């Protein structure tokens, strides 16, 4: 199974498999050695076609600031993640008795879902999360923090047939080119156990949340954002084409929210998080913002909030103020029968 492929910086694939064997037996047991030993070319091609959008600034990406912002403010999208976990929990048919539901976070970045488990309360006990992503720098960050993680393309996974209870495509599904989406879902179908669920989170074309990307991000980031989202029909059709016969849709509250002691601090944290996470370059870096910069950014994002087009909303409870930038996600669910 020798492969000269530099799989991750400092690791060939063989060395990484050995690392998993020693450090993450659970994940090691799920690997299909034939897929990487016999298909080294396919594997290499699947990893080469990645874009550099989520790599570092030095190669033209916005991955550094994305990752830093994600790790600095882990609770901003907590409600959306909780709802995705509830959906996974309610749609996955238990096949493994009292054991935890194994979820693959297939566009998991540096461990998005795995890190959220620390904050979601009791429901966390139901899940065991494996992170995978095509980006080497994202996966290296996950590995350094001790998370079980794999570098793989969603269209060509290194996992065995029928080994996962659920597969999540969230916060980034629109980065998969439209022509490859069904292939990724077919791959998910292969890797799921019967009774297992696939959950796709993205945004509906034409909504203010989708326009956040196609207008605001496209015009104000170094990478632009030329990615098609989903229509309701296309999400269902793709799930059906991949083999998920009775697919369904939900709308999920996917707002950014932060609690703090004053309205001013909560609003400022929220706005700075949005500008940093999404790599906005047409404003000064958020850590150097003047009050005028902050006000101008708040004004620029107003048309893209889902509820009212009013931008950041404030509410208070028990002495804390919550600042919310509302968004609505479109979520497709399919079960492998
Ligand atoms: C917007 S980021 C979100 C990461 C993570 N879901 C989060 O919430 O932090 C999208 C991620 O999708 C990954 N990605 C894009 N296309 C992919 C593909 N075909 N296979 C695997 N990962 C992919 C990118 O490398 C990136 O890390």
One domain for residues 204 and 262: no
Residue 85 resides in a domain? yes
Q: Is the pLDDT of residue 97 over 80?
A: no
Model confidence band, residue 1 (pLDDT cutoffs 50, 70, 90): very low
Atom of ligand 1 nearest to the CA of 67: 9
Domain shared by 95 and 41, yes or no: yes
The predicted-structure confidence for 258-303, as pLDDT tens digits, reads as follows: 999 999 999 999 999 999 999 999 999 999 999 999 999 999 999 9
Domain boundary, last residue among 239, 254, 269? 254
Identify the CATH number of the domain in which residue 244 sits. Answer: 3.40.50.150
Nearest to 171 by CA among 329, 333, 312, 332: 329
167 vs 97, residue with greater confidence:
167
Output the pTM of the full model. 0.95
pLDDT > 70? residue 127 = yes
Instruction: Report how far residue 207's alpha carbon sits from residue 254's, in angstroms, rounded to the nearest whole number.
Output: 13
Decide: 153 in ligand 1 pocket, CB within 6 A: yes
Ligand 1: does its nearest atom lie under 6 Å from the Cβ of 61?
no
Q: Could you tell me if residue 40 is inside a domain?
A: yes
- What does the pLDDT look like over 138-147, one tens digit per residue? 999 999 999 9
If asked whether residues 240 and 208 sit together in one domain, one would say yes
* Residues 6+ positions from 104 with CB-CB distance below 8 Å: 129, 130, 132, 159, 164, 166, 167, 168, 191
**Cα of 185 from ligand 1 centre, angstroms:** 15
Please give the pLDDT value at position 245. Answer: 87
335, part of any domain: no
CA Rg value for the chain? 20
User: Does 108 contact ligand 1 (Cβ within 6 A)?
Assistant: yes
End residue of a domain, out of 209, 226, 254: 254
What's the confidence (pLDDT) of residue 2? 40
Region 211-224 average pLDDT: 94
Q: Is the pLDDT of residue 229 over 50?
A: yes
Residue-wise pLDDT for 165-191, tens only, equals: 999 999 999 999 999 999 999 999 999
Model confidence band, residue 57 (pLDDT cutoffs 50, 70, 90): confident
Residues 94 and 15 grouped into a single domain: yes
Q: Are residues 207 and 314 in the same domain?
A: no
First to last CA, the chain: 33
Rounded Cα–Cα distance for residues 178 and 227 (Å):
9
Domain count, the chain: 2
8-21 residue pLDDT tens: 988 899 999 999 99
Q: Do both 173 and 30 map to the same domain?
A: yes
User: Do 201 and 146 belong together in one domain?
Assistant: yes
Q: What is the pLDDT of residue 327?
A: 96
Least confident of 65-74, 110-119, 142-151, 194-203: 65-74
Q: What percent of the chain shows pLDDT beyond 70?
A: 95
* Six token digits for residue 45: 């091609």
DSSP conformational letter for 280? B
Listed range (57-66, 117-126, 272-281) with the worst mean pLDDT: 57-66
Q: What is the mean pLDDT of the chain?
A: 93
293 and 221 share a domain? no
Mutate to test the pocket of ligand 1, among 49, 74, 109, 159 (most ligand atoms within 8 A of CB): 109
Same domain, 190 and 214: yes
Choose one of 207, 239, 254: the last residue of a domain.
254
* pLDDT grade for 45, boundaries at 50, 70 and 90: confident
Query: Is 172 a pocket residue for ligand 1 (Cβ < 6 Å)?
Result: yes
Indicate whether residue 62 lines ligand 1 (CB < 6 A). no
Query: From ligand 1's centre to the CA of 318, what distance in Å?
Result: 37
What is the distance, to the nearest Å, from the Cα of residue 250 to the centroid of all Cα atoms in its chain? Answer: 17
Same domain, residue pair 43 and 66: yes
Cα–chain center distance at 248 = 20
Nearest-CA residue for atom 25 of ligand 1 = 135
Whether 1 is covered by a domain: the verdict is: no
The pLDDT tens digits of the residues spanning 322-335 come to 999 999 999 999 99
129 CB under 6 A from ligand 1?
no
Which of 132, 147, 175 for mutating ligand 1's site (highest number of atoms within 8 Å of CB)?
175
pLDDT at position 49 is 66
Helix (H, G, I), strand (E, B) or coil at 230: strand
Same domain (yes/no): 240, 115: yes
Range of the domain at 300: 256-328
pLDDT band of residue 3 (cuts 50, 70, 90) is very low
Pairing of strands 164-169, 101-105: parallel
- 171 in contact with ligand 1, CB cutoff 6 A: yes
134 close to ligand 1 (CB < 6 Angstrom): yes
Question: Does ligand 1 come within 6 angstroms of the Cβ of 154?
Answer: yes
SS3 41: helix
In this structure, the answer to whether residues 131 and 165 fall within a common structural domain is yes
Q: 108 C-alpha vs ligand 1 centroid, how far in Å?
A: 6
Which of 35-49, 154-168, 237-251 has the lowest average pLDDT?
A: 35-49
């Amino acid at each position: 199974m020798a492969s000269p492929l530099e799989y991750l910086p400092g690791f060939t694939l063989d060395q990484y498999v050995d690392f998993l064997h020693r450090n993450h037996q659970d994940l090691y047991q799920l690997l299909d050695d034939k897929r990487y030993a016999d298909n080294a070319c396919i594997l290499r091609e699947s990893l080469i076609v990645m874009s550099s959008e989520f790599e570092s600034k030095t190669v033209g990406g916005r991955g550094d600031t994305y990752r830093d912002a994600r790790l600095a403010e882990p609770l901003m999208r907590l409600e959306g993640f909780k709802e995705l976990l509830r959906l996974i929990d309610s749609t996955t048919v238990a096949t493994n008795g009292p054991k935890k539901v194994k979820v693959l976070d297939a566009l998991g970045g540096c461990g998005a879902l795995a890190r959220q488990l620390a904050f979601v309360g009791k429901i966390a006990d139901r899940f065991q999360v494996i992170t995978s992503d095509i980006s080497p720098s994202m996966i290296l960050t996950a590995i350094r923090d001790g998370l079980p993680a794999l570098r793989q393309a969603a269209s060509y996974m290194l996992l065995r047939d029928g080994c996962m209870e659920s597969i999540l495509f969230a916060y980034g599904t629109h980065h998969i080119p439209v022509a490859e989406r069904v292939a990724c879902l077919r791959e998910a179908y292969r890797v799921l156990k019967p009774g297992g669920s696939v959950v796709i989170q993205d945004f509906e074309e034409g909504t203010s949340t989708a326009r956040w990307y196609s207008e605001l991000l496209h015009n104000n980031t170094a990478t632009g954002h030329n990615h098609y989202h989903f229509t309701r029909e296309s999400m269902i059709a793709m799930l059906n084409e991949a083999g998920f016969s009775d697919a369904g849709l939900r709308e999920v509250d996917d707002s950014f929210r932060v609690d703090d002691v004053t309205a001013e601090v909560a609003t400022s944290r929220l706005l700075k998080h949005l500008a940093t996470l999404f790599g906005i370059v047409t404003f000064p870096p958020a850590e150097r913002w003047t009050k005028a910069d902050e006000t101008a950014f708040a004004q620029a994002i107003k048309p893209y909030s889902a509820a009212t087009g009013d931008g950041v909303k404030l509410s208070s409870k028990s002495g804390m103020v919550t600042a919310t930038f509302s968004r609505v996600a479109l979520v497709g669910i399919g079960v492998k029968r």
